[in-house]
Amino acid sequence: MSTITVIGAGSWGSALSLILADNGHLVKVYDRDEELLEDINKNHTNSKYLPGSLLPETIKGFNNLRDALENTDVILTVVPTKVMRLVLNQINQELNHPAIFVNASKGIEPKTFKRVSEIVSEEIESKLIKGFVALTGPSHAEEVIDRQLTLVTAASDDVKCATFIQGCFNNDEYFRVYTVNDLIGAELGGSLKNIIALASGIIAGLGYGDNTRAALITRGLTEMRRLAVKAGAKEETLFGLTGIGDLVVTATSKHSRNFQAGYKIGNGKNLKETLDSMTMVVEGVRSCEAAYEWAQKLNVELPITFAIYDILFNYKNPKESLKELMSRNLKPE
């Protein structure tokens, strides 16, 4: 059994902690919110992010990062990618031994187009990194916390490391973990699907139904594949759990924060009003910004992503965007 430090007691950090505690690991959860930590330590629940949840009593919440990192084998980052550099920088200052880094957050950095694995290697001294694994796939915290059957993937360039993390998280009762050695494909699939999930919420908010959603998922996957392959991903990864799997769950679920945000936009709210009304992170917004800039640099055609960018950042009317998408030049599929 390992000692595992979870950085971020949000909805996904808490659900992943439950799996790790079920598997018998020593789980130390770090968060900056003392009230939330008291809820975890005393009431064994997370009322802020997962109301009604029942967390194993063995999960221990820490407000002090150094204590949370002491003697740990694995560091699992689950904070919004917007604050990832800042949080990693703090970890770099407090960590005094090498550990395996696992990331469960999903996003690409605007301007640099960096994935979290690249940000980790920039922010953490190499002597402190034993390996890096991205844990990603179709998995909403709200269902994992109820131990509903879920399948994800441990992605790494280092097969041994991926296999070790697969063993840490796999639970025969409800959480099955595969491995994949295409880190680029897995990280990009998990990030780019959030843009299409925003689009799916927008079309639902506008009142469109299943035909439109199926079309969006299919053409959205084409865009994800185009950009990811151009960036070095293996095409087949986009057809696995970390690509189409995650796209389907996020673009069709009421649990999805990206879908929920898109729905509000489809209903007439602008981006600021939408984000102000959300209590949890909507990663697709930043990833859309990154994909928009990156696609222009790499000369990749992403009409849906560009339309979402205009709706989010240029206040374009979603109906107008749909009209333009529908009247593009006719072509073979």
Ligand X SMILES: NC(=O)C1=CN([C@@H]2O[C@H](COP(=O)(O)OP(=O)(O)OC[C@H]3O[C@@H](n4cnc5c(N)ncnc54)[C@H](OP(=O)(O)O)[C@@H]3O)[C@@H](O)[C@H]2O)C=CC1
Ligand Y SMILES: O=C(CO)COP(=O)(O)O
Which of the residues 48, 114, 193, 264 is marked catalytic? 193
Work out which of 25, 140, 193, 225 binds ligand X, going by CB under 6 A: 140
Alpha carbons within 13 A on the beta-carbon side of 200: 31
Q: Which does 250 bind (CB under 5 to 8 A by kind): ligand Y, ligand X, none?
A: ligand Y
Of residues 62-81, those binding ligand X (CB under 6 A): 78-81
End-to-end CA distance of the chain: 50
β-partners of residue 28 are: 5, 60
Separation between Cα atoms, residue 4 and residue 141, nearest integer Å: 19
CB of 133 or CB of 322, closer to ligand X: 133
- Annotated ligand binding at 106? The verdict is yes
**193 is annotated as an active-site residue:** yes
Residue 104 · residue 81 · CB < 8 Å: no
> Can you say how many angstroms the Cα of residue 145 is from the centroid of all Cα atoms in its chain?
16
Identity of the amino acid at 219: R
Task: Please tell me whether residue 150 binds ligand X under the rule CB under 6 A.
Answer: no
The candidate with the shortest Cα–Cα distance to 145, out of 254, 257, 21, is 21
Which stretch in 11-19, 37-45, 201-209, 263-271 sits in contact with ligand X by CB under 6 A? 11-19
- Annotated ligand binding at 12? The verdict is yes
Of residues 271-310, those binding ligand Y (CB under 6 A): 283
Q: Which does 258 bind (CB under 5 to 8 A by kind): ligand Y, ligand X, none?
A: ligand Y
- Give the DSSP H or E segment for 77: strand 74-77
Alpha carbons within 13 A on the beta-carbon side of 67: 9
CB of 5 or CB of 258, closer to ligand Y: 258
Task: Please tell me whether residue 105 binds ligand Y under the rule CB under 6 A.
Answer: no
Separation between Cα atoms, residue 239 and residue 236, nearest integer Å: 5
Work out which of 131, 138, 189, 205 binds ligand Y, going by CB under 6 A: 138
- Annotated ligand binding at 220? The verdict is no
Each residue 31-70 as x (binds ligand Y by CB under 6 A) or -, in order, gives ----------------------------------------
Measured from the Cβ of residue 254, the count of other Cβ atoms closer than 10 Å reads: 11
Task: Please tell me whether residue 12 binds ligand X under the rule CB under 6 A.
Answer: yes
Of residues 186-225, those binding ligand Y (CB under 6 A): 194, 197
With residues binned 3-state (H G I as helix, E B as strand, rest as coil), the percentages for the chain, rounded to 5, are 55, 15, 35
Q: Is 281 exposed, middle or buried (0-12, 13-18, 19+ CB in 10 A)?
A: buried
CB of 59 or CB of 285, closer to ligand Y: 285
Task: Please tell me whether residue 256 binds ligand Y under the rule CB under 6 A.
Answer: yes
Q: Tokens 């909403």: give the residue.
A: 140
> Shortest distance, CB of residue 104 to ligand Y, whole angstroms?
9
Phi, psi of 176 (to 5 degrees): -100, 130
Task: Please tell me whether residue 5 binds ligand X under the rule CB under 6 A.
Answer: no
Q: Which residues are annotated as a binding site?
A: 8-13, 32, 49, 106, 137, 139, 141, 193, 246, 256-258, 281, 283
Active site residues: 193
Give residues in contact with ligand Y (CB under 6 A): 106, 138-140, 194, 197, 246, 249-250, 256-258, 283
